[in-house]
Structure 1
Amino acid sequence: MGHNGESGGSDDMALLPAAGAALLTVFVLLPLSYLLLLAVNKPASPQRHGGASGHGRRQRLPPSPPGLPLLGHLHLLGSLPHRALQSLARAHGPVMLLLLGCVPTVVVSSAAGAEEVMRARDLAFASRPRSAMAERLMYGRDVAFAPYGDYWRQARRVCVVHLLSARRTRSFRRVREQEAAALVERVRAKAGAAVGLTELLAEYANTVVCRAAFGDESARGLFDGDDRARERIWEVLTGDFQKLMGTEPLGELLPWLGWVDAVRGLEGKITRTFQALDGLLEKVIDDHRRRPPNTDDGDHRDFVDVLLDVHKHDKECGIQLETNEIKAIILDMFGAGTDTTSAVMEWAMAELVTHPRAMRKLQDEIRAAVGSASTGGGGGVDEGRVAQLHYLKAVVKETLRLHAPVPLLVPREPAADAEILGYHVPARTRVVVNAWAIGRDPAAWEDAEEFVPERFSGSAAVDLKGQHMELVPFGAGRRGCPGVGFAEASIEVALASLLYHFDWEAAEGKGSRAGASSLDMSEMNGLSVHIKSGLPLVAKPWIP
């Protein structure tokens, strides 16, 4: 289903006149096309997917809201699909069948429904629908979008065992601490004035993943050169790529309008972005192959080192990783570990600024734990101490409950007919779990719309790894995100550093409403959901 993000960028601005002409043509041709199709076929309807049971009875399909011919329910999604689908679920139930153009899609909006999809019937829903964007940008060999099968099982095992295990995550502690300290210094340079924290958090998240994936030497080599060259690399790696991965080509939903993608420049943007990414990754991998073998204990190797080692020992590891597979897995790390991480930190800071009591409680915990270990105002926060901060973990969980960074989890697709909460789900139907709606479901959470980190304190041991279906921002089951531990560590040390060294309040003007602790929390959709107006805050240095 994708996330209906905008492709963005200067290329799109130049193509606005062409896009407008294409849209006008669509509105002219739509009625004519509809009349033509009426003469040939009945309009598509969700009920046509029901079929009959072995005894001649129609299967019980999930309920559907009224739709339009050809478009189905596309017009109901709006600019923030997760919110629109939550509203539809309130009217039609936690399991709905929609037609998104020509694509039948079941939307699940309750913990009970998620339990069936991601645990009780996990194997039945373990595959993915075809993603044209993943095939074009990620060689059709990544892990996140791969169909269920031998390649996916083996590639995921490589990620879980060799890249994102608890030991490997700990091995990047130095990287996270150094980048958190660098983040503090960037804020300190602007102390007293409005700080655009959104951009600084994105830079932190991107740099941590870049150093973990490529290693310090390759990361430095990539960003040598003038400012424009560095900006272009970041733009391709974490800008264009992420925007495109959050975009669903119109031709995927309405094949007869596929030509609009070409007219609005999407095809050209995909081609240019792929070529730039491929060249960048080829350079990094060649650099690693030319180096002497790494003879350390394995804890200081980057992701490319590890994947090349798996490539050399494919029989032992059970998978043949060629260059394209290595590139695809590295892109998975960037797609899953950068924009989503920065979004969580952005929302956490926004919620804390608008809830000063919670911020003060968290700062007291952090400052008591860190104590004099970070004296002088410029030292870094020790990650070992951060791991013991229980209220910080509660704040992160509460942020993820209210602001799942990917509100609509990557779609699943049953290979054969299946069932969710007694409803028939035909084979090859997309199944989307609305993690955002589940996190705000009043049936599962008291004061569901309120920011209350205390709900996760004490004995409320709700975890983030798929054991509790009321909180599934990272998915669960076979398709759950294997990078939860890496993301948690990156988020916690950055937040602890910012809250230890500074007191925060909303900047006046853009992004703030009346009152120093109030922010405009409007959402902007994309690969991850961010704050539309950014996060303009004022940081006041705190001296222990």
Structure 2
Amino acid sequence: MAIILSDAQYYLILCCLSFLLLKYFFRKRPTNSRNLPPSPPALPVIGHLHLLSSDHQAISFLNLSTKHGPLLHLRLGASRMLLVSSSSFAAQVFKAQDLSFADRPAFAFADELPYGNSGFFGAEYGDYWKFMKKLCMTELFAPRQLERSRASRQTEIAKFCGSMVESANRNEVVDVGAELMKMTNNSTCKMVMSTSCSEKGDEAARIREMMIKTLQLATKVSYGDVLGPFKRLGFWLYGTQLVHVSLKYDELLEEMLKDHEKRQGWDHRDDDDDDLDLADLLLKVYQDDKAELKITRTQIKAFLLDLFIGGTISSTETMQWTIAELINHPDVFSKVRQEINSVLGSACRLVEETDIPSLPYLQAVVKEALRLYPPSPVVIRKCRQNCKIKGFDINQGTMVAINVYAIMRDPEIWDNPNEFRPERFLASSNEGHDGLEYDQKEQNFNFVAFGGGRRRCPGSAVALLLVNTAVAAMVQCFDWKVGKIGDDDAKVNVQIGAGISLPMASPLNLRPVIHFNPFASSI
């Protein structure tokens, strides 16, 4: 929809741009010359913004680095950015200088939003972030908790397969992405709050709609504060929409917390922590005046929102890309199914998490999908202090973009990097990179699907458990057809859509055909 500007709005924008142009030409040049990384030719005022596409951030950055080099200093309007596009420079950010790059830049318009930067993923590196990271690693994602939540994940996968069986019996075409998002969101909710997020009517649809809207808006403001002193113009265009979506989230999360407190008959200050879910633990800290760190109810809701969005979107997209590539590579699909059958033998049951360690080829398939379509294709950091990267000066406050999409498609690291070839991750493979090289790649930051350093995604272990098991169940139980009956040879469109992540350009509409019905014996 076109935006129609009034005369007053038009002249306001014109005056602002004129002021920026004058400020650029009459600005004071720095007297000290620093050895900054190389920079492509820039335009006045906008800098390098004209070189970037709003649709494909990671691909735009890849094109820039291919032409100008793996370490670039960019100016995006009023913002400065360091673009990192090689594993050797990524190792500097994620390992050698990890503490210097342990911050994330403040979210655009944070001061105007209900949660601001109260969440975990966007929080400044400090006591609050460290406390929440500790809570994640010792409670939510600890091995004992993953073991406790295994049954709920298996239940959600079984419900998904049951729904697909019903659709197959009706020869229906299903929006598989929407169904996978519902399954993943429910799994996350049960881990965090011991309840399903979609038990009430259309609540799941509301959550999906808000998540998609949030990602769309985040894409538009992901380059930071490019308008400098005129950031109110950006807020005028996008900020009010972000506030609206945030208030809807707040309403939903407050309702969920109150339901949780009511259902639990809540006052768990004297309970054994082993019996509490994450929401209980957060509320316990919130009420404890002697807690290690005092947190607010707003911080609890912001933290939960981070977990729901991060856990749902990334896992859902990875499952979609994996099954899409399997459909487009029937020989690989057949190998995965044969491997599952060899492990399960004559057992007429649905594949389970405990089977995954015995399915190395399946794991290689998921790793290859993550390599081609990383959940966070561009990892954002901020420099906390002046430092050097291989002789180049990096100024405090500089935004840093590590293009993991480019690193994991680097032809100097990966043979035929744009091909879907899971064998590169198998230790027994004689072609491409073998498993031993893969282990070394992780150490050298060649495979960085979940980022790196102390701010590496803390939920990668549970994400891999869910993705591997769900994909295995989809292969075990169904043949997936693209389109209507009679079009069995059609391929999935694997074009990347617009977004801050790597969504599919088109919905993953598939027709499930039953290959194995794990529920047949119980019907």
The interval holding the TM-score normalised by the smaller chain is 0.7 to 0.9
1:155-174 equivalences under 5 Å are 155-174=132-151
1:357 aligns with 2:357: no
Describe the SS at the equivalent of 1:470.
Answer: coil
Contact 1:139 1:325 (C-alpha < 8 Å) held by counterparts: no
Aligned partner of 2:504 in structure 1 is 531
1:450 aligns with 2:426: no
CA separation in 2, counterparts of 1:33 and 1:256? Answer: 9
1:277 aligns with 2:249: yes
Relative to structure 1, the CA distance from residue 37 to residue 287 in structure 2 (aligned partners, 3 Å threshold; closer, same or farther) is: closer
Q: State the number of aligned residues.
A: 503
Please state how far the C-alpha of 1:453 moved relative to its aligned partner: 0.7
1:522 aligns with 2:495: yes
Residues 285-334 of structure 1, C-alpha deviations (whole Å, 9 max, x = no match): 23333424679975664321232234456756x32233122112111211
CA separation in 2, counterparts of 1:103 and 1:502? Answer: 49
Letter in 2 for 1:306: L
Q: Unpaired segments of 5 or more residues in structure 2?
A: 428-433, 518-523
1:289 aligns with 2:261: yes
Match among 506, 512, 519 for residue 482 of structure 2: 506
CA separation in 1, counterparts of 2:25 and 2:253? Answer: 48
Match among 380, 384, 408 for residue 415 of structure 1: 384
Q: Given the two structures, how large is their TM-score scaled by the length of structure 2?
A: 0.87
1:343 aligns with 2:343: no
Further displaced range: 147-156 or 192-201: 192-201
Please state how far the C-alpha of 1:20 moved relative to its aligned partner: 4.3
Aligned partner of 2:52 in structure 1 is 77
Aligned partner of 2:122 in structure 1 is 145
Aligned partner of 1:231 in structure 2 is 205
Letter in 1 for 2:310: A
Aligned partner of 1:199 in structure 2 is 178
Aligned partner of 2:298 in structure 1 is 324
Aligned partner of 1:4 in structure 2 is none
Match among 49, 72, 85 for residue 109 of structure 1: 85
Letter in 1 for 2:337: Q
Aligned partner of 1:479 in structure 2 is 455
Contact 1:62 1:96 (C-alpha < 8 Å) held by counterparts: yes
Relative to structure 1, the CA distance from residue 37 to residue 476 in structure 2 (aligned partners, 3 Å threshold; closer, same or farther) is: closer
CA separation in 2, counterparts of 1:251 and 1:259? Answer: 13
CA separation in 2, counterparts of 1:298 and 1:387? Answer: 30
Contact 1:507 1:536 (C-alpha < 8 Å) held by counterparts: yes
Contact 2:476 2:516 (C-alpha < 8 Å) held by counterparts: no
Describe the SS at the equivalent of 1:105.
Answer: strand
Aligned partner of 1:368 in structure 2 is 342
Please state how far the C-alpha of 1:279 moved relative to its aligned partner: 2.1
Relative to structure 1, the CA distance from residue 185 to residue 527 in structure 2 (aligned partners, 3 Å threshold; closer, same or farther) is: farther
CA separation in 2, counterparts of 1:435 and 1:232? Answer: 31
CA separation in 2, counterparts of 1:81 and 1:240? Answer: 18
Contact 2:88 2:444 (C-alpha < 8 Å) held by counterparts: no
Contact 2:98 2:453 (C-alpha < 8 Å) held by counterparts: yes
Relative to structure 1, the CA distance from residue 22 to residue 80 in structure 2 (aligned partners, 3 Å threshold; closer, same or farther) is: farther
Relative to structure 1, the CA distance from residue 358 to residue 314 in structure 2 (aligned partners, 3 Å threshold; closer, same or farther) is: farther
Contact 1:339 1:527 (C-alpha < 8 Å) held by counterparts: no
Describe the SS at the equivalent of 1:365.
Answer: helix
Contact 2:193 2:278 (C-alpha < 8 Å) held by counterparts: yes
Please state how far the C-alpha of 1:499 moved relative to its aligned partner: 0.5
Residues 243-272 of structure 1, C-alpha deviations (whole Å, 9 max, x = no match): 4444417882114554544554x3332222
Further displaced range: 422-431 or 286-295: 286-295
CA separation in 1, counterparts of 2:491 and 2:155? Answer: 31
Relative to structure 1, the CA distance from residue 235 to residue 501 in structure 2 (aligned partners, 3 Å threshold; closer, same or farther) is: same
1:21 aligns with 2:5: yes
Letter in 2 for 1:429: T
CA separation in 2, counterparts of 1:517 and 1:414? Answer: 47
Aligned partner of 1:64 in structure 2 is 39
CA separation in 2, counterparts of 1:21 and 1:256? Answer: 21
Q: Unpaired segments of 5 or more residues in structure 1?
A: 1-15, 53-57
Describe the SS at the equivalent of 1:395.
Answer: helix
Relative to structure 1, the CA distance from residue 205 to residue 527 in structure 2 (aligned partners, 3 Å threshold; closer, same or farther) is: farther
CA separation in 1, counterparts of 2:177 and 2:106? Answer: 33
Letter in 2 for 1:446: D
Aligned partner of 1:12 in structure 2 is none
Match among 88, 97, 108 for residue 132 of structure 1: 108
CA separation in 2, counterparts of 1:132 and 1:532? Answer: 26
CA separation in 1, counterparts of 2:66 and 2:335? Answer: 35
Describe the SS at the equivalent of 1:531.
Answer: coil
Residues 39-65 of structure 1, C-alpha deviations (whole Å, 9 max, x = no match): 4442789xx67x63xxxxx32211111
Further displaced range: 281-290 or 355-364: 281-290
Describe the SS at the equivalent of 1:537.
Answer: strand
Match among 161, 175, 178 for residue 184 of structure 1: 161
Describe the SS at the equivalent of 2:82.
Answer: strand
Residues 416-435 of structure 1, C-alpha deviations (whole Å, 9 max, x = no match): 21222322111111011001
Relative to structure 1, the CA distance from residue 470 to residue 98 in structure 2 (aligned partners, 3 Å threshold; closer, same or farther) is: same
Contact 2:16 2:230 (C-alpha < 8 Å) held by counterparts: no
CA separation in 2, counterparts of 1:327 and 1:154? Answer: 16
Residues 155-175 of structure 1, C-alpha deviations (whole Å, 9 max, x = no match): 211111122112212221111
1:86 aligns with 2:62: yes
Contact 1:464 1:471 (C-alpha < 8 Å) held by counterparts: no
Please state how far the C-alpha of 1:516 moved relative to its aligned partner: 1.8
Relative to structure 1, the CA distance from residue 525 to residue 167 in structure 2 (aligned partners, 3 Å threshold; closer, same or farther) is: farther
Please state how far the C-alpha of 1:232 moved relative to its aligned partner: 3.0
Letter in 2 for 1:95: L
Letter in 1 for 2:98: D
CA separation in 2, counterparts of 1:44 and 1:22? Answer: 31
CA separation in 2, counterparts of 1:146 and 1:315? Answer: 23
Aligned partner of 1:382 in structure 2 is 352
Relative to structure 1, the CA distance from residue 515 to residue 96 in structure 2 (aligned partners, 3 Å threshold; closer, same or farther) is: farther
Describe the SS at the equivalent of 2:516.
Answer: coil
Q: Given the two structures, how large is their TM-score scaled by the length of structure 1?
A: 0.84
Relative to structure 1, the CA distance from residue 529 to residue 194 in structure 2 (aligned partners, 3 Å threshold; closer, same or farther) is: same
Relative to structure 1, the CA distance from residue 41 to residue 436 in structure 2 (aligned partners, 3 Å threshold; closer, same or farther) is: closer
Please state how far the C-alpha of 1:206 moved relative to its aligned partner: 1.5
Aligned partner of 2:520 in structure 1 is none
Aligned partner of 2:25 in structure 1 is 42
Relative to structure 1, the CA distance from residue 142 to residue 492 in structure 2 (aligned partners, 3 Å threshold; closer, same or farther) is: same
